[in-house]
Amino acid sequence: MVTEHVPVPGSERRAAPGARRLGDAYPHAPVRVTVVLRRAAPQPGAPASHADLTRLEEFAHEYGLTVTSVNLPARSVGLLGTVTEMNAAFQVSLGEYELDGSTYRGREGEVYVPVDLTGAVVAVLGLDDRPQARAHFRIAGAGGGGVRPNVVAANAAARKGYPPQEVARRYGFPTDGDGAGQTVAVIELGGGYRTADLRTYFAAQGLAVPGVTAVSVDGAKNSPGEDADAEVMLDIEVIGAVATGARIAVYFAPNTSSGFYNAVAAAVHDGYRKPSVLSISWGEAESGWTAQAMDAHDALFADAGALGVTVFAAAGDDGASDRATGHNVDFPASSPHVVGCGGTRLTDTDETVWNGLADGDGATGGGVSRHFGRPGYQSDANVPANPDGGAGRGVPDVAGDADPMTGYLIRVDGTDEVVGGTSAVAPLWAALTALANQRNGARAGAPHERLYLSGTAFRDITSGDNNGYRAAVGWDPCTGLGSPHGVRMAQILGGS
């Protein structure tokens, strides 16, 4: 009997720009996917239903797939099978693709499920294992972003570098607490940290080494020795230097749509560590994601707010284009349930929009989403139309120092470096929120409504552009509402 299949809405995928299909994927190669189910009830935080799970397990059995994991709160089910089995189960044609000298397993077109799973399955992630996201850090003077060709020469070009705690001082962060009792979760899709570097770095800063835990997701682990080490160390050292008493949980996952989802799910629904803040410094232009993946992640971020977890994400380091055609915004910063973090240039005399594109040093991302509609909290923010002429979610919400030429002094793989990028802004705001949570005795949760009603808690950035949009009085698609007045912002995050 042939079972009728129907497409999963938003699952259409194209080959990566510049990629070419070399042929069919090896038929016996193992493939792991994450199937995301709908909520059992409409409110954020609702789990998947047992009925939907039972039907999915029956489907897996019918096609010879193995159920490897079930996470009802995150509505996700892990399935394992061969290329041949996955092709049959989801009516796809997995192939091997070549891009920039590397290969990935990919697919084109839509993903299909049996008709009796219509509506129950909202996403199938991991059939395509191309790298899903980029780390949004920049080495001072190096150009290019995400790579570290010659750290010594690059940093010689930096005009100024600040220890993270100096940036916090410049922004007036509260000093009557240290974040004790809070856990800040960090998502990493590559790289790692060296404990010896952390000891050396924090000793030089006169600070205690923070409590750091590496959490493995889908087999990934703390693996120093990659370019992404700069991202991992930037995140840890910014948080640890600003919220010195907070614990840091680093969730390492494969850089795939499935790995990204499972890392966020692991952090948001971690009943043991119970993080109150989540920092994400990885992302990609919305055009690089499937609609199903963005919607599935967005639902997880809504779960986070319901659980009192505040989520911050970098808005990107490549200006208004975000390395794609035309004007684009970066996801997950474009999720309405995430606080998108844009970048400024912070000097001893002023603060402007970060834009070093002319020198190859990047610029803050920002713009208006094509995928997500304008949320209610931005109804009076004068967000312009998106590139398609529609009403979209404006990015970013907030900002902070990101220009690598006025960047952060950190230590990576035995070398002191000056690093910037909006990757630094997400952990900076995460650390501020940890301080605020301790100070207020309550979690900030989803703070968007409060942020957009709290003009006096921001330093409005009105000078500069990101090669697509200009700064203006009030919210703008370069630096959002602005950078923080720390103590006032801590009060706002607490609901005052």
Q: Which of 154-163, 183-192, 230-239, 399-408 has the lowest mean pLDDT?
A: 154-163
Q: Which two tokens stand for residue 209?
A: 């080494």
Burial of residue 441 (number of CB atoms within 10 Å: 0-12, 13-18, 19+): exposed
Q: Which two tokens stand for residue 119?
A: 């509506």
* Of the candidates 56, 14, 436, 60, the residue with the CA atom closest to the CA atom of residue 246: 436
Q: HSE of 426 in the Cβ direction (CA atoms, 13 Å)?
A: 38
Report long-range pairs for 81-85 (Cβ below 8 Å, ≥24 apart): 81/30, 81/31, 82/27, 82/28, 82/29, 82/30, 82/31, 83/24, 83/25, 83/26, 83/27, 83/28, 83/29, 83/31, 84/27, 84/28, 85/31
Indicate if 279 belongs to the active site. no
Sign of dihedral through CA atoms 259, 225, 243, 397? negative
Say yes or no to pLDDT of 43 above 90.
yes
DSSP 81-143: EEHHHHHHHHT---EEEEETTEEEEE--B--EEEGGGTTTEEEEESSS-S---EE--EETTT-
pLDDT confidence bin for 495, thresholds 50/70/90: confident
Integer-rounded Cα radius of gyration of the chain: 22
- Tell me the residue type at 369: S
Q: Collapsing DSSP states into helix, strand and coil, what is residue 232?
A: helix
Q: Collapsing DSSP states into helix, strand and coil, what is residue 198?
A: helix
pLDDT for position 2: 60
pLDDT digits (tens, 9 = 90+) for 48-60: 999 999 999 999 9
Of 110, 129, 231, 284, catalytic: 231
pLDDT confidence bin for 151, thresholds 50/70/90: very low
pLDDT digits (tens, 9 = 90+) for 344-387: 999 888 999 999 999 899 999 999 999 999 999 999 999 999 99
pLDDT confidence bin for 316, thresholds 50/70/90: very high
Say yes or no to pLDDT of 479 above 50.
yes
Q: Collapsing DSSP states into helix, strand and coil, what is residue 255?
A: coil
Q: Collapsing DSSP states into helix, strand and coil, what is residue 178?
A: coil
Say yes or no to pLDDT of 92 above 70.
yes
Rounded mean pLDDT of 399-410? Answer: 95
DSSP run (H or E) holding 293: helix 291-306
* Of the candidates 195, 196, 175, the residue with the CA atom closest to the CA atom of residue 431: 175
Place of tokens 């505040």: 310
Rounded (10°) angle between helices 229-242 and 422-440? 30
Q: CA–CA separation, 368 vs 168, rounded Å?
A: 29
Q: CA–CA separation, 366 vs 384, rounded Å?
A: 12
Q: CA–CA separation, 89 vs 111, rounded Å?
A: 9
- Tell me the residue type at 465: D
Q: Collapsing DSSP states into helix, strand and coil, what is residue 151?
A: helix
493 contact partners, CB below 8 Å, separation of at least 6: 310, 432, 433, 436, 437, 440, 444, 447, 450
Of 110, 178, 197, 235, catalytic: 235
273 contact partners, CB below 8 Å, separation of at least 6: 183, 185, 213, 215, 247, 249
pLDDT confidence bin for 494, thresholds 50/70/90: confident
Place of tokens 């100024």: 160
Instruction: Provide the percentage of residues in the chain whose pLDDT is more than 90.
Output: 91
Q: How far is CA 64 from CA 83, 84, 175, 445, in A?
A: 11, 10, 58, 42
Q: Are 357 and 468 in contact (CB under 8 A)?
A: no
pLDDT digits (tens, 9 = 90+) for 198-233: 999 999 999 999 999 999 999 999 999 999 999 999
Say yes or no to pLDDT of 160 above 90.
no
Burial of residue 172 (number of CB atoms within 10 Å: 0-12, 13-18, 19+): middle
pLDDT for position 140: 84
* Of the candidates 402, 449, 422, the residue with the CA atom closest to the CA atom of residue 330: 422
Q: Are 400 and 166 in contact (CB under 8 A)?
A: no
pLDDT digits (tens, 9 = 90+) for 408-446: 999 999 999 999 999 999 999 999 999 999 999 999 999
Indicate if 235 belongs to the active site. yes
pLDDT digits (tens, 9 = 90+) for 264-313: 999 999 999 999 999 999 999 999 999 999 999 999 999 999 999 999 99
Average pLDDT taken over every residue of the chain:
94
Say yes or no to pLDDT of 171 above 90.
yes
DSSP state of 210: P
Q: CA–CA separation, 31 vs 361, rounded Å?
A: 38
Distance of CA 144 to the CA centre of its chain: 20
Place of tokens 């610029």: 363
Indicate if 454 belongs to the active site. no
